[in-house]
Chain A
Amino acid sequence: MSAPTACIEIEHVSKRYQRPGRKAESFLAVSDVHFDIRQGEFISLIGASGCGKTTLLRMMSGLIPVDDGQIRINGNPVQGVPGSIGFVFQEPALLPWKTVRENMVFALKAKELSPGEVDAAIDAKLELTNLQDFAGYYPSALSGGMQQRAGLARALACDPDVLFMDEPLSALDAFTRRRLQQDIATIIEGIGATTVLVTHDVDEAVFFSDRIVVMGTSPGSVRDVVEVPFPKPRKHAELLGDPEVAKLRDHVLGIVLGLH
């Protein structure tokens, strides 16, 4: 088989939430979602709020269980958080009482590495994210962008096969966001991890993705999957004036808004 193998298989997955106080009523957050993600692929989940994209991401990472269907990573059904993932949260989610390095040490604890291996893994990822001079800083002394970089360095320190990112850049200003997008794209292409990004920013989805999964609301389900054919590595400067890029962006936006 020469075709790229599936890394994440999402098979007819659904999730219901009980409405608080009303036992009989439940609300279908994710309904019968079914698609595969290939090894090394970059997928964006995009859609209006309430479309279940974050719920789907949390089920893929094992943070919450699926109600129906199954999710497999590298062939293994997801039950609890697998050991081979990294996760970048919407907020930096750094422990304020630990330095950047100590935060990374905490993430590596479950791997039971030797102190030397821990130091080597951390140093490598700090350099990759350009944080080598900030290892001893507490999060409160770093800017929002730097905190998110530290969150990314922590996720990478575990050498993940799969990287999940839940709107990691949505709280940053437009300029910091663009710079970080460029840096993150370079880093992820370098390590070749399969990546799933939840975002509500169509430009960001087009910039990063190999495919964009557009989700719709009530119930949350997949509306369309859009291929992004532009060659990598991509540069913001090159995509900016490209009419093909603009066309694709408008197409995706149209699906999100339900115009197509």
Chain B
Amino acid sequence: MSLTEDTSLASSAPDRAGPPAAPPRKFRIPWNAKVRRRVLPVASVVVFLGVWQIFGAQVNPILLATPSAVATSFVDIIGNGELGAAFLRAMEVLAVGFGLSAVVGIAVGVWMGRRETVSRVLNPYVSFFQATPLIALTPLVVIWTGIGFTSEVTITFLLAVWSIIINTAEGTRNTPAILLDMAKVYRAGEWSVVRHVAMPNAVPYIFAGLRIALAKALIGVIIGEMDISLKGLGGLIQNYGDSFQTAPLLASIISSSIVGVIGTIVLEVLRRKLAPWSSNASAHTRV
């Protein structure tokens, strides 16, 4: 691109009394910032897939399927409807479990951030559960709630909620004292302080917590489906793994990361809609 632009500029230069025409150059890769930013990531992935393809063709397909085999499996399991149904089910568990943890986590977090007593009472539990690998609770959750959707939502909720509580409480506590004074001077009630001062202040923290929680919730969804119902994406992964079908197994794993990517995009869209001021760029363009 930039090479052709260069030559056209050079050929038109002698007509004007401008800079002298550049001497003819040999072709060189234009190693500028734009090329580095756009081309390098793509080149990296292409090289990686190429090496994988060549290497994968040499080994037993049970150990490692080639990218082309994975792509073929993708088409197969999309075509027979298997992937679509599994994908939707995983999304459902994620939406309900993560959605509940967001609602409960933000509410409890704001309460802890605004009331020191509440924070002191709840902190031991929040710290304990945040540090515990709660996936170990799966058998107990199954004993309590049975096999199926409810127990998987519960696991997802239990994994996700603590990060949201901790970050929301931190963001609420960090409300600048001068803004709280201001609210006091204009005699704002507690609900008004929460809604107009403390919660907006906590928004960047809340979304940081939600992003961490989303990754944990997705683990809950997939492990839950693998361990409990054998449905959804986790079910596909478990079943294809058990039957040594490496190509559709990898296709299912990649699908689960697509669930995570979609969740992250939804969060970002929400943040921009709900809190345009929380990124500097949009705060300045909103005038």
Contacts and interface: CB of A to CB of B under 8 A. Distances in A.
A101 to B, nearest CB: 13
Given A93-B178, A95-B200, A140 B185 contact: no
Main DSSP-derived SS at the B contact region: helix
A137 B182 CA distance: 20
Interface residues of B, number: 24
Contacts of A106: 183, 186, 188, 192, 196
Contacts of B188: 106, 109-110
Nearest to B186: A107
A112 B76 CA distance: 64
Nearest to A96: B277
Interface in B147-183: 178-179, 181-183
B107 interface: no
B115 interface: no
A81 interface: yes
B272 interface: no
A85 interface: yes
B194 interface: no
A97 interface: yes
A137 B284 CA distance: 10
Interface centre among B187, B278, B280, B283 (most CB of A within 10 A): B187
Interface string B98-130: 000000000000000000000000000000000
Contact of A81 (B184, B189, B200, B278): B184
A108 B185 CA distance: 11
Given A63-B181, A93-B181, A95-B196, A110 B186 contact: yes
A7 to B, nearest CB: 18
A81 B187 contact: yes
Contacts of A87: 181-182, 185
A112 B192 CA distance: 13
B197 interface: yes
